[in-house]
Structure 1
Amino acid sequence: MADTDPSPASPSAKEQAEQSSLPYTWTQTISDLTLTFPIPPHLKPRDLSITLTKTTLTAGIKGLPPIISGTLPHPIRVDDSTWTLTTSPDNASKTVEILLDKANKQEWWAHVVTSAPKIDVTKIVPDNSKLSDLDGETRGLVEKMMYDQRQKEQGLPTSDEQKKMEILKKFQEQHPEMDFSNAKIQ
């Protein structure tokens, strides 16, 4: 039987082709985004024009059209965002690296600027983080979820179910005259 799959090239191949055609490369973590692009080795920092605002980015070589320019999809923390110029060990090339510190450290960006092609953020597999990297409230929530998951796997009550049982037990102790034999905890 002949293959009748009429679908075009896979979406991931299209996405990869779009991203590789950009004049820069970029990576991200949940908290920041790093953008890099090469420049001729004879250029100095004073030859660059890099402007960061809370919602826009423009970067390139002075006197030439920007390599990247546009509106950011989400705000950044300008004071914690930086850029550096790195020279290769053999002085044959230079690279500009721009670090954007995301204002919201709980979202993945589909693109660096809104005019650029998007990536599918649902396919991002984040690095494993350590509990110690999380703020107190988030850490507490994650630890509770992990505890509840272990309890469920062992057929034991979750933390919420344990609290309800403790409340019922105290109520029973305060009201021994009542019959709780048919009580259901929900």
Structure 2
Amino acid sequence: MKINKREVKDDECYWSLEDQKEISILLTKQNKDDWWKSLFKVGPEIDTQKLEPEPSKLSNLDNETRATVGKMMFDQRQKQMRLPTSEKIKNQDMLQQFMEQNPDMAKNFSNVCQTLR
């Protein structure tokens, strides 16, 4: 079913007649994080930029999203303390490993290593 070109889960949408005078409709969106500007094609729209999402806990997120948010939080803290971000740490580790595996070349790259730190 499409309402205002937005997809809903057909098997999770219900309607009921209450007190013989009101219709109650429950529409479950395919993507619960999608914000609709309006319910129907014709009708008033709201400015979704002014809406604030409900706060969520890291434990409510899937593993991949939780890892991404955790990395972003770590990088933000590192930047605030003027410390290397996870990407810079990864690059430093890779260079260090390369230098350990190639000691003759390490002498030539010693200045590069100092610059990255």
TM above 0.5: yes
What CA distance in whole angstroms lies between the structure 2 residues aligned with 1:55 and 1:136? 30
Q: CA RMSD in A?
A: 2.2
CA shift for structure 1 position 110: 0.5
What 5-or-longer segments of structure 2 have no aligned partner?
none
SS of the residue aligned with 2:59?
helix
Normalising by structure 1, report the TM-score: 0.53
Count of residue pairs the alignment pairs up: 112
What CA distance in whole angstroms lies between the structure 2 residues aligned with 1:77 and 1:140? 28
Matched, 1:83 2:15: yes
Asked if the contact 1:73–1:111 (Cα under 8 Å) also holds between the matched residues in 2, the reply is no
Deviations along 1:14-51, one digit per CA (max 9) or x if unpaired, are xxxxxxxxxxxxxxxxxxxxxxxxxxxxxxxxxxxxxx
CA distance change for structure 1 residues 160 and 84 in 2, over 3 Å: closer, same or farther?
A: farther
What CA distance in whole angstroms lies between the structure 2 residues aligned with 1:146 and 1:97? 42
Letter in 1 for 2:9: R
What 5-or-longer segments of structure 1 have no aligned partner?
1-53, 57-71, 88-92
What CA distance in whole angstroms lies between the structure 2 residues aligned with 1:136 and 1:94? 46
User: Which of the residues 98, 110, 114 maps onto 1:181?
Assistant: 110
More helix, by proportion: 2
Deviations along 1:122-175, one digit per CA (max 9) or x if unpaired, are 111111111122222222211111111111111111111111111011001011
Normalising by structure 2, report the TM-score: 0.80
Asked if the contact 1:75–1:102 (Cα under 8 Å) also holds between the matched residues in 2, the reply is yes
- Which protein has greater RCO, CA pairs closer than 8 Å, 6+ apart? 1
Matching residue of 1:97:
24
Matched residues, percent identical?
A: 44
What CA distance in whole angstroms lies between the structure 2 residues aligned with 1:139 and 1:98? 33
